[in-house]
Chain A
Amino acid sequence: SQQGEEDPQALSIQEGENATMNCSYKTSINNLQWYRQNSGRGLVHLILIRSNEREKHSGRLRVTLDTSKKSSSLLITASRAADTDSYFCATPTYNQGGKLIFGQGTELSVKP
Chain B
Amino acid sequence: EPEVTQTPSHQVTQMGQEVILRCVPISNHLYFYWYRQILGQKVEFLVSFYNNEISEKSEIFDDQFSVERPDGSNFTLKIRSTKLEDSAMYFCASSGVAGGSNEQFFGPGTRLTVL
Q: Which residues of A contact B (CB under 8 A)?
A: 30-31, 33, 35, 40-45, 48, 88, 90, 92-105
Q: Would you call B42 and A45 a contact (CB within 8 A)?
A: no
> Hey, which chain B residues are within 8 Å of A44, CB to CB?
106
Report the stretch among B13-21, B65-73, B76-84, B97-105 that lies at the interface.
B97-105
Q: Is the interface of B mostly helix, strand, loop or mixed?
A: strand
Q: Would you call A105 and B42 a contact (CB within 8 A)?
A: yes
Chain B residues with a Cβ closer than 8 Å to the other chain, count: 27
Q: Would you call A88 and B43 a contact (CB within 8 A)?
A: yes
B55 contacts the other chain (Cβ, under 8 Å)?
Answer: yes
Q: A41-B108, A42-B107 are in contact. Are A99 and B99 (CB under 8 A)?
A: yes
Q: Would you call A97 and B50 a contact (CB within 8 A)?
A: yes
Q: Which residues of B contact A (CB under 8 A)?
A: 31, 33, 35, 42-45, 48, 50, 55-56, 58, 91, 93, 95, 98-109
Q: Would you call A102 and B43 a contact (CB within 8 A)?
A: yes
Q: A30-B101, A44-B106, A45-B106 are in contact. Are A97 and B43 (CB under 8 A)?
A: no
